[in-house]
Chains A and B, each alone.
Chain A
Amino acid sequence: MKVYIPSPLRSYTNKANLVEGEGASISEILGNLDKAFPGIKFRMIDEHGRIREHIKLFINEDEAKNLTVSVSGGETVHIICALSGG
């Protein structure tokens, strides 16, 4: 499946905005993503497995509010950083 990477995380993906992901759940996808790009998961997920406050994960157009949400092979995962600040 495709995983869209927001610009603040592209330092981990050699600037790629779209990478291949593997897994049957958000948790597995992020775990595999972290194996390919070490360190990227902790910037989105805290030490207790919670999605950080201003990060949102979408499967196609549906928000995944926790890491247990299932993902099928044909879907697209979007990682979104909130827009704010000055």
Chain B
Amino acid sequence: MTTATKSTGTKTANLFVGTRKGAFVLKANTDRTKWDLSDPIFLGHVIHDFVADTRAPGVMLMAAKTGHLGPTVFRSTDGGTTWTESSKPPAFDKVEEQAAEESGEHKPELVGQTDLSEKPADAAGKAKRAVLRTFWLTQGHDSEPGVWYLGTAPAGLFVSTDNGDTWSPVKGLNDNPSYTKWFEFGETPDGQFLHSILIDPRDKNHMYIGVSIGGIFESIDKGENWSPLNKGIAADFLPNSDVEYGHDPHCVVLHPANPDRMYHQNHCGFYRIDRPDNQWIRVGENMPEGIGDIGFPVVVHPTNVDKAWVFPMDGTEVWPRTSPEGKPAVYVTTNAGDSWKRQDKGLPREKAYLTVKRQAMTSDHSNPIGIYFGTTGGEVWASADEGETWQCIARHLPEVYSLSALES
């Protein structure tokens, strides 16, 4: 996950690692200089997300898929000692055959080949969508214990009110009359993901989501209705980049100390917004020349609203999505993106082509806070001083899909 979990008051960090072939837990000593790696959990299962509930000690969820089997959610209520599968995994509503035929099967089209003006606006909910991947987990508002939200591929939003045991579609999104025109621009190579489910800590009814490809959307009535929030965001891959939706947000975060401040790493740059303004500002243009502002994750400081970290990747030509020039670095801003500082002490100096996925960078709540990222090459890197110095705390893991931190 890309937003820090809350401190429970002590300083022993636990890092939950979701990978392409199982989950792991890294446990730190009190000064976070030494880390112990657990045995694998669900070895061989695809774990897209692995998070712990900051409201309920011991509750942990995994968004999982298993080889060619259908997607599901694994859950623990005893801190990971035992795990069970959701008794009702997320699934779209079953639709009648005739209705499905009338609306057409759900076949996302390639980017650039979609004529939005001809998209039926009322087909959502009729197409025979099936959940292919459970992808993103977000715990609900603090006032709603047991509530969790889940994002899937194809784009779907699901809610559980029983700590992940049973899941129901959020019909206001999944069956929204505008679903088709919002989300059928196409899918990314690994699917069309609904991610970055953000709950306003001041208002349980106020939510945001990101969809790749589709854009950022906001609801002020707990998911009943949604509106695009993409003004100012580039969509250079579309024939007409000045569109209301159809963007490719990679990761969106809402600042816990000021939920009106949001940051957003997009396929086309890095952005900031201060609500109620509706205009995103591309502060990534302030990144050093030659580095650019392309990447997947973004992490914010838990209390300093102007401090955030990104992991730039090469977005030129064929999009290698690796560290620019093979020289990996984290970049930090302390002024909300107006300027950026390179942080690479301890990281490989050259010939290191790292990729960090959108859920694979996170922070803890220590002082100074720890910053962590996992790579597709199976490494986990940690900084105990807010990015100033780095050490590799795990190697030889499967491809890292997600990281989340919880202190215990």
**Is B67 part of the binding interface, using a Cβ–Cβ cutoff of 8 Å?**
yes
Min CB gap A29→B, angstroms: 18
Q: CB of A43 within 8 A of chain B?
A: yes
**Other-chain contact of A9, B69, B87, B92, B100 (Cβ < 8 Å):** B69
Q: Is the CB of B128 within 8 A of A43?
A: no
In the complex, A65 has a CB within 8 A of chain B: no
Q: A47-B94, A85-B67 are in contact. Are A42 and B130 (CB under 8 A)?
A: no
Q: Which residue of A lies closest to B93 (CB)?
A: A47
Do B70 and A44 touch across chains, with their CB atoms under 8 A apart?
yes
Are A48 and B94 in contact, with the CB atoms below 8 A? Answer: yes
Question: What's the Cα separation between A85 and B67 when bound, in Å?
Answer: 9
Q: Which residues of A contact B94 (CB under 8 A)?
A: 47-49
20 A-B contacts (beta carbon < 8 Å): A8-B68, A39-B86, A42-B70, A43-B66, A43-B70, A43-B72, A45-B70, A46-B70, A46-B91, A46-B130, A46-B131, A47-B93, A47-B94, A48-B94, A48-B128, A48-B130, A50-B130, A52-B68, A52-B69, A55-B68
| Contact A47–B87 (Cβ < 8 Å) | no
* B374: chain A residues within 8 A (beta carbon): none
Closest CB in chain B relative to A49 CB, distance in Å: 7
CA–CA, A45 to B86, complex, Å?
16
Encode A51-86 as 1/0 by CB contact (under 8 A) with B.
Answer: 011110000000000000000000000000110110
B121 at the binding interface (Cβ < 8 Å): no
Q: Which residues of B contact A54 (CB under 8 A)?
A: 67-68
**Which secondary structure dominates chain B's binding surface?**
loop
User: B residues within 8 A CB of A46?
Assistant: 70, 91, 130-131
Bound: A81/B128 CA distance, A: 23
Fill in one digit per residue for B48-78: 1 if any A CB lies within 8 Å of its CB, else 0. 0000000000000000001111101000000
Partner of B87, one of A38, A43, A49: A38
Closest to B42 in A: A11
Interface size in chain A (residues, C-beta < 8 A): 21
Interface residues in chain A, defined as those with a beta carbon under 8 Å from any beta carbon in chain B: 8-9, 38-39, 42-50, 52-55, 81-82, 84-85
Residues of A within 8 Å of B87, CB to CB, are: 38-39
Most buried by B among A8, A38, A49: A8
Contact yes or no, A47 B91, CB < 8 A: yes
Give the residue name and chain of the A residue nearest to B97 (CB).
A48
Interface SS of A by simple majority: loop
Contacts of B243-274 to chain A: CB distance below 8 A: none
- Of chain A, the residue at the smallest CB distance from B20 is A85
Return A84 CB to nearest CB of chain B, in Å: 8
Residue in contact with A8 in the complex, picked from B69, B85, B95, B100, CB distance below 8 Å:
B69
- Contact across chains for B72 and A8 when beta carbons are under 8 A apart: no
Give A9 to B44 CA distance when docked, in angstroms.
13
> Of B70, B85, B89, which is in contact with the most chain A CB atoms at under 10 Å from its CB?
B70
In the complex, the answer to whether B68 meets A82 with C-beta atoms within 8 Å is yes
Closest A residue, CB atoms, query B67: A8
Inside 8 A of A45's CB, which chain B residues have their CB? Answer: 70
- Interface contacts beyond A47-B91, A48-B130, A52-B68: sample of 10 additional A-B pairs, CB < 8 Å, sorted by A: A8-B67, A9-B69, A39-B87, A46-B70, A47-B92, A47-B131, A48-B100, A50-B128, A55-B69, A85-B67
Select B67's contact among A38, A48, A49, A81, beta carbons within 8 Å: A81
Closest 5 CB pairs of A and B: A54-B68, A47-B91, A46-B130, A43-B69, A43-B70
What is the CB-to-nearest-CB distance from B61 to chain A, in angstroms, rounded to a whole number? 16
Q: Which residues of B contact A82 (CB under 8 A)?
A: 68
Asked if B91 and A42 make an inter-chain contact with CB atoms under 8 angstroms apart, the answer reads: yes
A9 to B89, CA, bound (A): 16
**Which residues of B have CB within 8 Å of A53?**
68
A42 partner residues in chain B, CB cutoff 8 A: 70, 72, 89, 91
CA distance A9 to B72 in the complex (A): 13
Tell me the complex Cα distance, A52–B85, Å: 19
Once the chains are docked, how many angstroms separate the CA of A85 from the CA of B46? 13
Complex CA–CA separation, A39 to B93 (angstroms)? 17
